Amino acid sequence: MMPFALPGHPHIHYADNQLHVEGCHLDALASQYGTPLFVYSRASMLHALAAYQRGLKGRNAQICYAMKANPSLAILQVFAQAGCGFDIVSGGELTRVLTAGGVASSIVFSGVGKTRKEMREALLAGIGCFNVESEAEIDVLNTVALETGKIAPISIRVNPDVDPQTHPYISTGLKGNKFGITHQRALATYLHAASLPGLRIVGIDCHIGSQITQVAPYLDALERVLDLVTAIESAGIPIEHLDFGGGLGIHYKDETPPGADMLWHKLLERLDARGFGQRKLLLEPGRSLVGNAGVCVTEVLFMKPGEQKNFCIVDAAMNDLPRPALYQAFHTIVPLQQDKQAGPDAAVYDIVGPVCESGDWLGRERQLTLQAGDRLAVLSAGAYCMSMSSNYNSRPRCAEILVDGNHAHLIRTRDTISDQMYGEHLL
């Protein structure tokens, strides 16, 4: 059988009838570490990062990996070593980044609900910027900064009111969303922030949504943000950096998102045309750096043909891979053995997990020629899978492997039941 790479997944391929991540054989990893198992490709992450670096070559740009997509320490370490900053949304994420070798001054802190404790920790760590999201947050941050004896560097997240044309749960830049400060109130908010002694204005930011597959919403947001920068600077407040957030989509099924280099080529054309091309630029990509670098390997427990529907019950579930249950998201699912790929006359199955909920499905209406004991890979599982996983049904959180060429590093051990019960007390 001919070796071939899976579309959109340059470091995942079949060779000798077996699915590999880089030089590692997934079936062998599953036998060694058990299933369900997350396996990531380091080369794939660096390949995704390189597209951004190409697009921004020669510019004053800082890529801040939005670590909510996948916060495993070893993954943070890969990006820290590659020179990335980080976009964080909690004190927990701050500690993770610092533990993994991230540089505090390259951290931006996003999120609508930062606590005073988190603000204090981030001020003491010396992070690069607080991306503030409301007038109330500005006042509290000013107070905490003065109490801590620090000046908080801030950027205001503006809500440009553009439609990113993505799933409603992951669009954030529309008027009806809880995020950011409206375009109309932005200038007044900047003037207020500039009057507070505990704050130093360093930037402006926006983030319009996630899994965006077109350039147009980015261009619309860019124009609106630049209009605001012009107004804010005319009012005497200099803006050092422009942060365009994250959001670039990946290939799950048949999406054709622009490459990061192409997207930035287009955005820089507009930035140059409007005279902002030499300004410091920040980006907060998450999914597009890690999404297609990861797979989740799962084993078929039972085939359950039925009168109305056939079910293929696997050992991974919604607690491991919550995206289908949460967003009706599509993830391609392929067998580890190439010769188990279904022919056109194969039966149609819903691939479901063991969790006691009808919403616990990983894929619907997939053609399969499988039997119990066969193994499957759920693709595009590098982003927002492990990071949103839980112990629901007292299921252990998965082990994670980072592949680097022919080496497989265990970067997280599967939970034990004692890990799960840690901190609990009988009466």
Smallest gap, in angstroms, from Cβ of residue 42 to ligand LLP? 19
Please give the structure tokens belonging to residue 285: 């990509």
Smallest gap, in angstroms, from Cβ of residue 36 to ligand LLP? 17
285 binds ligand LLP (CB under 6 A): yes
110 binds ligand LLP (CB under 6 A): yes
Q: Between residues 98 and 248, which has the closer beta carbon with respect to ligand LLP?
A: 248
Give the residue, chosen from 63, 76, 170, 228, that forms a contact with ligand LLP under the rule CB under 6 A: 170
Smallest gap, in angstroms, from Cβ of residue 284 to ligand LLP? 4
Give the residue, chosen from 286, 335, 353, 382, that forms a contact with ligand LLP under the rule CB under 6 A: 286
- From the CB of residue 139, how many other CB atoms can be counted at a distance below 10 Å? 16
Q: Between residues 311 and 327, which has the closer beta carbon with respect to ligand LLP?
A: 327
Give the residue, chosen from 62, 90, 288, 338, that forms a contact with ligand LLP under the rule CB under 6 A: 288
Give the residue, chosen from 55, 102, 203, 246, that forms a contact with ligand LLP under the rule CB under 6 A: 246
Q: Name the segment binding ligand LLP (CB under 6 A); options: 94-102, 286-294, 297-305, 341-349.
A: 286-294
380 binds ligand LLP (CB under 6 A): no
Q: Name the segment binding ligand LLP (CB under 6 A); options: 16-24, 44-52, 278-286, 358-366.
A: 278-286
80 binds ligand LLP (CB under 6 A): no
Q: Between residues 338 and 389, which has the closer beta carbon with respect to ligand LLP?
A: 389
Please give the structure tokens belonging to residue 358: 């009808």
Q: Between residues 63 and 300, which has the closer beta carbon with respect to ligand LLP?
A: 63
Q: Name the segment binding ligand LLP (CB under 6 A); options: 116-124, 207-215, 271-279, 401-409.
A: 207-215
State the catalytic residues: 356
Q: Give Cα 180 to chain centroid, integer Å.
A: 19
Smallest gap, in angstroms, from Cβ of residue 209 to ligand LLP? 7
384 binds ligand LLP (CB under 6 A): yes
Smallest gap, in angstroms, from Cβ of residue 130 to ligand LLP? 12
> Which residues in 1-60 contact ligand LLP (CB under 6 A)?
none
Q: Name the segment binding ligand LLP (CB under 6 A); options: 45-53, 116-124, 285-293, 371-379.
A: 285-293
70 binds ligand LLP (CB under 6 A): no
Q: Give CA separation, 167 vs 137, 161, 209, in Å.
A: 28, 16, 9
Give the residue, chosen from 247, 353, 363, 396, that forms a contact with ligand LLP under the rule CB under 6 A: 247
- From 275, 274, 280, 192, select the one nearest 237 (Cα to Cα): 192
Whether residue 354 is preceded by a cis peptide bond, meaning omega within 30 degrees of 0, is: no
Give the residue, chosen from 211, 298, 319, 389, that forms a contact with ligand LLP under the rule CB under 6 A: 211
Smallest gap, in angstroms, from Cβ of residue 14 to ligand LLP? 27
Mark residues 112-141: x for contact with ligand LLP by CB under 6 A, - for none: ------------------------------
The answer to whether 360 touches 353, Cβ cutoff 8 Å, is yes
Cα angle, residue 171 at apex, residues 287 and 73 outer, rounded to 5°? 30
323 binds ligand LLP (CB under 6 A): yes
Bridge partners, 39 (sequence order): 295, 401
The answer to whether 208 touches 164, Cβ cutoff 8 Å, is yes
Give the residue, chosen from 137, 161, 284, 360, that forms a contact with ligand LLP under the rule CB under 6 A: 284
The footprint of ligand LLP on this chain (CB under 6 A) covers a number of residues equal to 20
Smallest gap, in angstroms, from Cβ of residue 394 to ligand LLP? 23
Residues engaged in binding ligand LLP (CB under 6 A): 66, 69, 87, 110, 170, 207, 210-211, 245-248, 284-288, 323, 327, 384
